[in-house]
Chains A and B, each alone.
Chain A
Amino acid sequence: MAETKESAEPPTILVDPIDMSKLDQSFCNEIKSMPYGEELVACFACTTCTAACPIANQWDYKPHQLIRMIILGMREEVLSSKEIWECLTCFQCQERCPQKVRVTDIFFDCKNLAAEEGKVPNSIVALGKLLLETGQLYEVTEDWQREDLDLEPEVPGLATEPLKEILKTTRTGRLVGSDE
């Protein structure tokens, strides 16, 4: 987490603090102003979110640590973390939070900020591309299966153009475009 120096100085053996003046003091307010971010600072560090998370044991930054990092202003570390993308969005942390911090929703906010900076895992960019190009995540390929079950081979009412048109004008368009 701490800044490491590139020079050939001997390694620091004493306390190696995070230089608070180097952190982004506006990050906390930035998240607070995003959807469902208002309750961020209500966190009283009980770590219930981490206890509730089914996969936090896999993570270097636990959910409560990510919240802590946001409050302190560790913007770079949070937005570059793999954890926000591995979040299952199962909402268990948020559901059990005794202070009603919308933890999962806040991680969605973080992902949007990361996306704005182009920091999105390739597999997710690929999904964005799929949406932009085909208008859906899954296409009917085996329409005989549908017919066997007395269903119309093509899904009635399905329109893929509107989604493509919308996403061209929003961040997905920019994100996928810049990737090419």
Chain B
Amino acid sequence: MVEVNDTLSGPVLIIGAGVAGMTAAIELADSDIKTILVEKKQTIGGNALELYKAFPTDDCFYCFEGSRFRPGIRKCFYRSAMLDNPNIDLRTNTRVDEITGNPGNFKVKLTTGPMYVDPKRCIMCGLCLKRSGAFSLISPQCQPQAVFYDPSLAEESVKEIEKECPTKAINLNAQSTEEQVEVSDIILATGYTEMRPVNMDEYGYGKYPNVITQLELARMLDPNGESAGALIRPSDGAPVKRVMMVQCVGSRDENYNLYCSKICCVFALKHANIIVNERNGIKTTVVYMDIRTYDRHERYYREARESGVRFVRGRVHLVRPNPDGSLDIIVYDSLLDRYLSYNIDLFVLSTALEPSEEDETLQRTLGLNTSSGFVAPLDLANDSVVAGDHVYVCGAAMGPAEVPESVTQARAVVSKILQGRQ
């Protein structure tokens, strides 16, 4: 048996390639530890891929801090760090199917979905994108840089497109593959999922197209996004003149999620500031019950007030659609004890941040503690990142977290693993 050796030198499996997972991977790689970085989506980046500015620095998110070997590395961070690092074995479009074995020597079955487009060959020339809706670009910042193919949208023309791809990157007959890997440690970095409040009739989400979530707004604000950063109404593409946001949708609500999702206030204020400061003349109102800008983020709240964002303490009474696509929203102002009527173009819900759907299976397989669906550390009082024997957790898999928090936790995990190997 070589278990002892494996424990000390085996690769580390990282589940989830968002901020936390990527940070853990790169830092472990820098310490010469092999990692297998698994991501269910076709691109790395997680939820942060959708953000073009992140607090607390309001930097373009694609430009977060590098590691000690590449100080200040910015735009190219993903490509250089994640794709070309010999210590990182990145598997996108891949799910963890089964975990067996013992702590220190886990056997993990990975299933990789069909790789219809080979990222090593795809040069993003855009030829296929022009010809069929089955090919799309998840994000201009996606990594690996490759086109995404959705077979459910396939048309007749795709066969021809396959033939005509100048680098022969397309293989429509690609099959999914399975592989068993052996790893000594597992890091859960599965992040969060933004709640889609389709069951909350009072807000009309899913019913009226101009009612969206904060992440959907983030995509719209992204200069690299579909609307090139312009705020437009999803219903008709008309420019947005008035925005309303409402906080605590499905958070702090025992009918949905009883916890505070923690970052949505700052998230909303960041967006409100971007809108009033960078999108000329768009009026923005935030309906809240408590503004929770914890820690140093209070400055976002102050800035928002100074920039002219209006705040209404109260809750939404009624949303009524108009034939012209705008929405009439009646808000109960609890400070004034009056009802305020607004006519707005875009209604943005600050919805709860929930555990990722596959977390439950993973948590059960690994026998982890949980709290409100998120992973709870083994010992809350003494260690915030060790979730089990040779199992670690970082980022929003532990509950809603901002980028710097996720990075800090990932580094803590890395230091734990390094300590164990000294």
Contact = CB atoms under 8 A, between A and B. Distances in A.
A99 B289 contact: no
A46 B290 CA distance: 8
Given A47-B315, A51-B315, A98 B334 contact: no
B202 A47 contact: no
A93 B264 CA distance: 25
Contacts of B252: 44, 98
Interface in B252-267: 252-255
B315 A48 contact: yes
A98 B332 contact: no
B244 to A, nearest CB: 14
Nearest to B289: A46
A48 B255 CA distance: 13
Contact of A51 (B253, B255, B332): B332
Nearest to A47: B334
A131 interface: no
A98 B253 contact: yes
Nearest to A64: B334
A96 B315 CA distance: 11
A175 B331 CA distance: 41
A57 to B, nearest CB: 6
Interface string B269-296: 0000000000000000000011000000
Contacts of B400: none
A168 interface: no
A174 interface: no
Contacts of A62: 337
Contact of A98 (B255, B316, B337): B255
Interface in B317-359: 317, 331-332, 334, 337, 339
Contacts, number: 39
Contact of B289 (A47, A52, A57, A96): A47
A100 interface: yes
Contacts of A100: 254-255
A50 B248 contact: no
B11 interface: no
Contacts of A50: 315, 332, 334
A47 B254 contact: no
A46 B315 CA distance: 7
Nearest to A98: B253
Contacts of A46: 248, 289-290, 315
A13 to B, nearest CB: 22
Contacts of A48: 289, 315
B10 interface: no
A51 B254 contact: no
B319 to A, nearest CB: 11
B18 interface: no
B311 to A, nearest CB: 15
A57 B254 contact: no
Nearest to A42: B254
B167 to A, nearest CB: 53
A128 B290 CA distance: 44
Interface string A32-60: 00000000000010111011100011000
A51 B316 CA distance: 6
B247 to A, nearest CB: 10
A47 B332 contact: yes
A100 B256 CA distance: 11
Nearest to A50: B332
A46 B237 CA distance: 34
Given A47-B332, A98-B248, A52 B314 contact: no
Given A62-B337, A98-B254, A100-B255, A51 B331 contact: yes
Contacts of B290: 46
Contacts of B339: 57
Interface of B: 202, 248, 252-255, 289-290, 314-317, 331-332, 334, 337, 339
29 contacts: A44-B252, A44-B289, A46-B289, A46-B315, A47-B314, A47-B315, A47-B332, A47-B334, A48-B315, A50-B315, A50-B332, A51-B315, A51-B316, A51-B317, A51-B331, A51-B332, A52-B317, A56-B332, A62-B337, A96-B202, A98-B248, A98-B252, A98-B253, A98-B254, A98-B255, A99-B253, A99-B254, A100-B254, A100-B255
Across the A-B interface, give the 4 residue pairs with the lowest CB-CB distance, nearest first. Answer: A51-B315, A98-B253, A47-B334, A51-B332
